[in-house]
Structure 1
Amino acid sequence: MADFGEILRAIGDFGLFQKTILIAIWIPCFLLSLTFASILFVESDPERHCNTDWILGAGPNLTEEEQLNLTVPREPDGSLSRCLMYAPVNWTLDSIRQYGLNHTTACRDGWVYDQTLYQATIVTDFDLVCDEANMVAVAQTVLMAGILTGSLLFGPLGESFGRRRTTQIPVLFLFIFMLTTGLCPNYYLYLASQFGVGVGYGGFRINCIVLTTEWIGITKRSLGSCGSQFFGAFGQAFLAVLIFFIRHWRLAQFVMAAPMGLVAVYIWFIPESARWLLDRGRTEEAKELILKAAAINRRTVPQSLFEKIAVNKTVEKGGIRVLIRSPVLRKRFLILTLPWFALNLSYFCLTFNVGKFGLDIFLTQLLFGLTEIPAHLLCFWLLELAGRKLSLMSTVLVGGLLCLCILAVPAGNAVGVTVLAIMGRILMNWAGSVCNVYIQELFPTSSRQTATGLGGIATRVAGLLAPPLNLLAVYHYSIPIVVFSSLTLVGGSLAFLLPETQGRELVDSTAQAEVQRNIAVMKTRADPNMPEQTSSRSTKL
């Protein structure tokens, strides 16, 4: 029998075929960052006042300043109230001026919003202010719930229906619901569309990384994850530029949907994972793809290699049961999931607070994206230099400490808070790339997609909890920071228990994963300084 690593070396483990797949996957990864546009730039509460045009019936020639002075009460600091107005009365203008208005009420006829920063946002279109201000956090939570659902739905389906289909269908979700989001006439339909966008986001992110990883050889394997994160960072930076020039959220949705429509066309031509096809016993289909890849890479596949491929391979059942029953896989999954959950909780708490750090929101978002670009280049280099375990521990622990240090910055120091937030967010994103690589290498082909899907669910639960966790800041600003920073420190420490996977071939069965673990343990007991085997020649298809 031939292992798939041997096949990749024969056909080219990082040739034109693999590079084409990567580019096809990286483009939508760039666009995924833009899905946060409609909710990310609504954190700043716009200047506003109640609509008091009722008084124009008594005094049609009133200036705006006179109208507001007569109809809107003042706050203790002298500013106009943003949520209260004087109740309308059926008086003449002279009587109103002589006696004044004293009875206040909530805004009855909506609000008048200042359009200096934005022409329109979901806050101004759906009046998510005053008593409805928490609805912004609800919108964020619904999007994250959609991402969680997408991970839960498309993750396990990748084991049964393949990596290709479960990468293509989420792209259609993204395109359709990006369009409908911009057309929503009310807040509740907006929530439904954002949920659909989230489903597509969650499904695509999980499956695209697995698909690219299974086609790439050992030396460039981490590109599948690091490259997608790298393009995502470009998307984060472009997001600030997009909203700076297009300050109407509906128009921004249509601009984002257009390139996603092109992706929805070409994504149907990406190939299936030959590793998955062989694992499912679909040998002839796998051979066709292997020959196609070899032709594109200008390689010739030796006939002797094809003769080694198992024609009647016994298909190993994967899924959640395998992860639960295997003590090795179960331990690996639980240990990796905690830091992955914690770093995503930190990342999204910082992301959803982009407008609250004290600096210009466009500048902050631009810095968020631009500073992540070199971080992902360093991530690929560090993964190959220091390995997976040390990379994960260092990024999560240092990132958690930086977030915790925000509490030591004096109140009002916007620059200090922003710098620490950006550095912490960079390291959390960096650690996320490491986790995406790590989980591909820790689990066999028969359950790799399930492990990735369940791990993705844990990260989406973190995103789901981020908005309500941020709301706890009304009791004390330090509560969210203490919670997510502490969890990252605990998760980063537990990562010490994971095995190193750098330089190993991907395993295809649970038995191989357990044998590999036992060999590593015996070698460590016999000679702790002995290097682990870098290629698993015993890996069978």
Structure 2
Amino acid sequence: MADFGKILQSIGEFGLFQKVCLVALCVPNIVLPFHFASVVFVQSDPERHCNTNWILKADPNLTTEEQLNLTLPREEDGAFSRCLMFAPVDWDIEAIRTYGLNETTACDNGWIYKNTLYEATIVTDFDLVCGTSNLVQVAQTVIMAGVLFGCLLFGPFAESFGRRRATQIPGVLMFLFTAVTGLSHDFYLYLVSQFMVGVGYGGFRMNAIILATEWIGMSKRSWGACLSQVFFALGLCVLAGCIYFVRDWRLAQLITAAPLGVVAIYIWYIPESARWLLDGGCIKEAKEELKKAAVINKREVPEYLLQKVVVVTETEKKGGTLTIFKSAVLTKYLIAVVLAWFSLNLTYYCLSFNVGNLGLDIFLTQLIFGASELPAHLLCIWLLEALGRRLCLITTLLGGGLTCLLIIAVGQDKAIFVTLFASLGRIFSNMAGSICSVYVQELFPTSLRQTASGLGNIASRIGGLLSPVVNMLVTYHWFVPIIVYSSAMFVSGLWDSCCQRQEGENCQILLLMWGKERTV
């Protein structure tokens, strides 16, 4: 097959065509953070008491203070119980006043919430308190499980049916089930819809980056991954403002669904990856896409290059995942990328889901998280070209692990420093994610790229899936989760540093395939 890099050079490696496609695929990242609003912006233990309106049947004129004194037991500190009430009785009000109530029971008619930070959250709407308070972590786990399943499903799907379809279908899924989430009046329906949102999220995030970068030349490929993260960081800032002014999780979900509806329409006009078309033997379709790109970039494709495009033989296309493990070099680098993706995502989501417990105002903390990531991703574009992929990856992984450990050093009572180091930890993990996205594009040929990227994304989503579980280790001590995810960053960084540097890091490598070396 003709060197696709030469074809891109002839039509423009990063012309108007690539820029429009890249922006179109990155813009949805502004609203993607909103999918986590319902499981991040919650009050896990809001002020509340059992709904005891049953006593108003005996005397509808009771004041609130009298009602609470007659129907609620008190804790040792003198405060009304949050999880218990006196069992209802069929007495008149005088008998209740005279004899009092002694038998306690769990709240069987819901709770009344007061002094809440939000108008409505999944905690207050679904009463996820007392014995069901752990269901907040279940909700976090469910959406991350959906993201993992989306990677498992749409990774192989993209290999068989194309990057374009594997980006379009998840976009539609996100739109439909985000709306369903906002309309859910049952917690289990909410979990199902959040799982499906996660499926769309995982498929879109993985394939949108690949589709964008496969149209971009080697010299500008870092833009494909890093710009996507820049838009995501911008979305984090917008999220803080949106939740500050719209403190109802249902309305926030419906607001999220509106722009996703626009995305679900225009995403069908995104062109297919010419690399994938050529690799799949769709020569005619690939030539048409290349000619369209050349016209938009005001360039021409030399006819002699198009004539050299040949179909990859069926023998060369077989092997799949096992092909990677036939090469010791590829196996080593795949393990490095998988470890890095797992550890950085574990760290990122452990910090993200804990945003309300860092000591500062949650809206301010969220804004700091997003605003600090914006310049970091722009800096990452330059660092990738100046220092190379491997050195940047090692530095960000080790830096992320170190800054997270510094949270333990300063202590949890120093909110400003805790937020500072948590923000640095997220910055490093995010930069490492961008580097992994670029790295995997260059280490593997088109026929194996989606497989390798899919394995890396699966590892990253497993890290995200485990993050709520790791955060639950806080029951043993507040710094136990920090030790777990920072250690994972250190291990992956040390593995990368131990890997032998391969000559020609910024070029695609030589694969030993089917008994002969072949340049890809």
TM-score, normalised via structure 2 length = 0.95
Is 1:319 the counterpart of 2:320? The answer is yes
- How is 1:138-537 mapped onto 2 (pairs within 5 angstroms)? 138-310=138-310, 316-317=317-318, 319-496=320-497, 497=499, 499=501, 504-506=506-508, 511=513
Of 15-24 and 419-428, more deviation after overlay is shown by 419-428
Calculate the aligned-residue CA RMSD, in Å.
Answer: 2.1
Alpha-carbon spacing, 1:284–1:181, altered in 2? closer, same or farther (3 Å): same
Of 215-224 and 410-419, more deviation after overlay is shown by 410-419
Q: Counterpart in 2 of 1:525? A: none
Alpha-carbon spacing, 1:331–1:311, altered in 2? closer, same or farther (3 Å): closer
Is contact 1:446-1:509 (8 Å) kept? no
Between the aligned residues of both structures, percent identity stands at: 59
Report the Cα distance in structure 1 between the residues aligned to 2:115 and 2:127, rounded to whole angstroms: 14
Q: Give the C-alpha shift of residue 465 in structure 1.
A: 0.7
Q: Give the C-alpha shift of residue 306 in structure 1.
A: 1.9
Report the Cα distance in structure 2 between the residues aligned to 1:363 and 1:65, rounded to whole angstroms: 36
- 2:506 corresponds to which letter in structure 1? R
Report the Cα distance in structure 1 between the residues aligned to 2:257 and 2:138, rounded to whole angstroms: 23
Is contact 2:163-2:273 (8 Å) kept? yes
Is contact 2:122-2:249 (8 Å) kept? yes
- 1:42 corresponds to which letter in structure 2? V
Report the Cα distance in structure 1 between the residues aligned to 2:514 and 2:17, rounded to whole angstroms: 28
- 2:407 corresponds to which letter in structure 1? I
Report the Cα distance in structure 1 between the residues aligned to 2:224 and 2:447, rounded to whole angstroms: 19
Of 118-127 and 146-155, more deviation after overlay is shown by 118-127
Is 1:54 the counterpart of 2:54? The answer is yes
Alpha-carbon spacing, 1:514–1:394, altered in 2? closer, same or farther (3 Å): farther
- 2:148 corresponds to which letter in structure 1? L
Q: Give the C-alpha shift of residue 57 in structure 1.
A: 2.3
Report the Cα distance in structure 2 between the residues aligned to 1:506 and 1:262, rounded to whole angstroms: 36
Q: Counterpart in 1 of 2:40? A: 40
The unaligned stretches of length 5 or more in structure 2 are: none
Alpha-carbon spacing, 1:274–1:345, altered in 2? closer, same or farther (3 Å): same
Q: Give the C-alpha shift of residue 141 in structure 1.
A: 0.5
Report the Cα distance in structure 2 between the residues aligned to 1:289 and 1:509, rounded to whole angstroms: 28
Alpha-carbon spacing, 1:501–1:52, altered in 2? closer, same or farther (3 Å): farther
Is contact 1:388-1:500 (8 Å) kept? no
Report the Cα distance in structure 2 between the residues aligned to 1:115 and 1:230, rounded to whole angstroms: 36
Q: Give the C-alpha shift of residue 182 in structure 1.
A: 1.2
The unaligned stretches of length 5 or more in structure 1 are: 516-537
Is contact 2:403-2:421 (8 Å) kept? yes
Is contact 2:326-2:513 (8 Å) kept? no
Q: Deviations over 1:337-359 (max 9, x none)?
A: 11211111111111111111122
Of 153-162 and 114-123, more deviation after overlay is shown by 114-123
Of 199-208 and 87-96, more deviation after overlay is shown by 87-96
Is contact 2:215-2:273 (8 Å) kept? yes
Of 94-103 and 206-215, more deviation after overlay is shown by 94-103
Q: Give the C-alpha shift of residue 405 in structure 1.
A: 1.5
Report the Cα distance in structure 1 between the residues aligned to 2:99 and 2:272, rounded to whole angstroms: 78
Q: Deviations over 1:199-256 (max 9, x none)?
A: 0011111111111111111221011110111100111111111111111111111111
Is contact 1:49-1:83 (8 Å) kept? yes
Q: Counterpart in 2 of 1:30? A: 30
Q: Counterpart in 2 of 1:135? A: 135
- 1:219 corresponds to which letter in structure 2? S
Is contact 1:442-1:501 (8 Å) kept? no
Is contact 1:3-1:539 (8 Å) kept? no
- 2:363 corresponds to which letter in structure 1? F
SS state at 1:164 partner: helix
Is contact 1:214-1:273 (8 Å) kept? yes
Q: Deviations over 1:84-127 (max 9, x none)?
A: 11222334434433443332221121100126421211111111
Is contact 2:144-2:465 (8 Å) kept? yes
- 1:300 corresponds to which letter in structure 2? E
Is contact 2:141-2:466 (8 Å) kept? yes
- 1:277 corresponds to which letter in structure 2? L
Alpha-carbon spacing, 1:500–1:364, altered in 2? closer, same or farther (3 Å): farther
Number of residues of Structure 1 aligned to a counterpart in Structure 2: 518
Q: Counterpart in 2 of 1:87? A: 87
Is contact 2:164-2:271 (8 Å) kept? yes
SS state at 1:108 partner: coil
TM-score, normalised via structure 1 length = 0.91
Q: Give the C-alpha shift of residue 490 in structure 1.
A: 0.8
Q: Give the C-alpha shift of residue 495 in structure 1.
A: 1.0
Report the Cα distance in structure 2 between the residues aligned to 1:203 and 1:304, rounded to whole angstroms: 37
Report the Cα distance in structure 2 between the residues aligned to 1:67 and 1:272, rounded to whole angstroms: 66
SS state at 1:268 partner: helix
SS state at 1:112 partner: strand
Report the Cα distance in structure 2 between the residues aligned to 1:345 and 1:139, rounded to whole angstroms: 17
SS state at 1:484 partner: helix
